[in-house]
Structure 1
Amino acid sequence: MSTELIRVVSIALAFVALGVPSARAQNDPAKANEAAPPADPPKKDDEGAKEVLERPAPIPDFQLPLLRTQPVRRGAPSFNVQMVDASLLPRDKEGIWVLDYAFKPVRLITTEIPGKGRRLVHYMYYRVVNHTGKPQVFVPQFTLVTDTGKRYEDTVIPQAVPIIEAREDPSVPLLGAVNIMGTIPPSTKEGIDDAVYGVAIWEGVDPKADRFNIYVRGLSDGYQLLPTPDGGKPTVRHKTLRIDFVRRGDDRNLSEREIQLLEPPYEWIYW
């Protein structure tokens, strides 16, 4: 969950806990000056020895925004775009959903990062389409893992998003790590896909890495429960897309031309 989303939820919870008056009451002086009703005395249990606390106010519903989509002709060829097969696997549970995903191989750009100066970052340009027939919540997680044993999460770098958008397709609004979280409406038009376009960005990837994998979680609600040897709480593994890359070159002159997809380029796993 992004920092902005956590901040919004925290504020909402704080309002409930503190009993902050509604905006309507704040705008009505007569309402604002009314004395608050006295609190009910604490109740006692049957024995009269312990106080029973009142139930807290319910947490307000928090709904993710509906993501804006762009029409794309279904099946139209796109240069350097890798389509991912969203068909269910034999090991998948019946009834799970999977979003359609397409991406371009990882590329490099140099961008200005506040407090750090100009930095070289890796990014993946992608699109998601919902063919499940129902609105689906999309809260993706992009994790890059190198063969040198290092792990990197999708980074919030808003300065880089418009640069990438201008490079890839200026006509298509691009969503970054913060505003990509939302609800994807179902794509129901004949011959047209309603696609959401996003970008995942990683900063400071080890230049000595010759291979790396990108794990994309959030494209499906599929999961598996793996029992532990000691009989404790089982481990949850989520249906995840793993994309495999190799980088052919040294660690001094990094070039995106050296980054290539392996064959096969991806695999659905539980991770």
Structure 2
Amino acid sequence: MSLRGKRLFSVNCTLGLACLTLCCSVSPLFGQESSTSSSGRWLAPDALVTIAPAMEPGETFQGPVDLPLVLNNPDIAWDPHYAPKSDTLAEMGRDVVFRGEVYCLEFSFKPVRMIAVDIPSFTGVQRKNVWYLLYRVRYLGGDLRPQVEPDAFGNQVFATPQSVAAETISTPKRFFPVFRLQVKGIDREYPDEILPAAKRAIAARERVGQPLYDTVEIMKQSLPVTTAAGGHSLWGVATWVDVDPRTDFFAVLVQGLTNAQQLKMQGEQIEYLQKTLVLHFSRPGDTMDEMQDRIRYGIPALEDPQRQQYILDQFGVEKRLDHLWTYR
């Protein structure tokens, strides 16, 4: 190679290294801060399925209900002589309406996967197939706050709830999750299990570039609001073992994303139903070599109407829904 050729080769290499360094040093855009792995690799845009926060104005109030204090103690009723009867404890405990601010976290996840892990037990170490759901939560603000306004007669009434801007929120949230894997057609439900050995193996496999928490650890973490000035997220994993290998269709139920709830009277007692995110999954496969089966998110779409109706019946829905919100 001539002297001139060597110089050109040297200049091209230098420019190439400079461009590579510049590209690697560019910070990710807002909202994408957790879409890179520890090795700096960018995840595909559809690597995570994102469920946006779901808040309804009607969730800012519950009732009216009669408090158990009134229903279970009829002796507290009395007729006052110098005050209206509505001021007595017995009357104030009837038709009570509860109002409060409602929030909801954004939930992103990868479809359920499996990994073989050596799980310690009292009898030693046992190789097991672990089903797991890798997820990310963010607090985007937008809480719904009850709004009091005067009516035409000067009375204070509740109007349409106000959405709270993220920039005005200073108090972080915490995520107190409850995960359940519900098998369709077999009537089995599995609670999330804490498996430190599995979490380490999953963290090494997924490489999300941030600490990975189990269901208990993530409860201890503070989650500030995400704004244009900076993003905050928490990564977690839910794990299950000994899932029935005959499982074809199942759902993962997620509680703790929101403080929305419903009050339901059961006789003379109040039952508190928590707003729950239900994720639907299908697993085409059999009981042999489970690790080779690919789990897909959502309800399959089939051309055969009878087969399609059979699958809808398995999930207990009337139409195809990849996810839904319910109370339980």
TM-score range, shorter chain: 0.5 to 0.7
Q: Is the 8 A contact 2:283 2:296 kept in 1?
A: yes
CA distance in 2, matches of 1:80, 1:257: 19
The structure with the largest alpha-carbon Rg is 2
**Paired residue type of 2:268:** G
Listed as ranges, the matches of 1:5-16 within 5 Å are none
CA distance in 2, matches of 1:260, 1:139: 26
Shift of 1:191: 6.1
Matched, 1:100 2:57: no
Task: Show structure 1 runs of 4+ deviating over 4 A.
Answer: none
Q: Is the 8 A contact 2:223 2:233 kept in 1?
A: no
* Number of the residue aligned with 2:135: 126
**Paired residue type of 1:117:** Q
* Number of the residue aligned with 1:42: none
CA distance in 2, matches of 1:223, 1:242: 15
* Number of the residue aligned with 2:3: none
Matched, 1:143 2:192: no
Shift of 1:193: 2.2
- Where structure 1 has 5 or more consecutive residues not aligned to the other structure, the ranges are 1-70
SS of the equivalent of 1:180 reads: helix
Equivalent of 1:236, from 266, 269, 272? Answer: 272
Q: Is the 8 A contact 2:172 2:224 kept in 1?
A: yes
Matched, 1:259 2:295: yes
Q: Which has the higher helix share?
A: 2
**Paired residue type of 2:196:** P
Matched, 1:227 2:194: no
Shift of 1:222: 0.7
Shift of 1:266: 1.1
SS of the equivalent of 1:167 reads: helix
Equivalent of 1:74, from 31, 52, 63? Answer: 31
Using the aligned pairs only, state the percent identity.
Answer: 31
* Number of the residue aligned with 1:250: 286
Listed as ranges, the matches of 1:183-194 within 5 Å are 183-190=221-228, 192-194=230-232
For residues 175-211 of structure 1, give each alpha carbon's deviation from its aligned partner in whole angstroms, at most 9, with x where no partner exists: 1133111243322441642100000000111111111
CA distance in 1, matches of 2:292, 2:255: 24
Q: Is the 8 A contact 1:131 1:188 kept in 2?
A: yes
Q: Is the 8 A contact 1:156 1:176 kept in 2?
A: yes
Shift of 1:236: 1.2
Give me the CA root mean square deviation: 2.1
Q: Is the 8 A contact 2:138 2:226 kept in 1?
A: no
SS of the equivalent of 2:60 reads: coil
Assess, with a 3 A threshold, how the Cα gap between structure 1 residues 144 and 198 changes in structure 2: closer, same or farther.
same
CA distance in 2, matches of 1:167, 1:194: 23
Shift of 1:114: 0.7
Q: What TM-score comes out, normalization by structure 1 length?
A: 0.68
Shift of 1:79: 4.0
Shift of 1:151: 1.1
CA distance in 1, matches of 2:292, 2:111: 9
Shift of 1:89: 3.3
Assess, with a 3 A threshold, how the Cα gap between structure 1 residues 183 and 174 changes in structure 2: closer, same or farther.
closer
User: How many residues were matched structurally?
Assistant: 199
For residues 49-97 of structure 1, give each alpha carbon's deviation from its aligned partner in whole angstroms, at most 9, with x where no partner exists: xxxxxxxxxxxxxxxxxxxxxx973167644210002131365336211
Q: What TM-score comes out, normalization by structure 2 length?
A: 0.56
* Number of the residue aligned with 2:118: 112
SS of the equivalent of 2:56 reads: coil
CA distance in 2, matches of 1:262, 1:161: 25
Shift of 1:258: 2.7
Listed as ranges, the matches of 1:161-240 within 5 Å are 161-169=199-207, 171-190=209-228, 192-228=230-266, 231-240=267-276
SS of the equivalent of 2:199 reads: helix
SS of the equivalent of 1:73 reads: coil
SS of the equivalent of 1:197 reads: strand
Assess, with a 3 A threshold, how the Cα gap between structure 1 residues 72 and 211 changes in structure 2: closer, same or farther.
farther
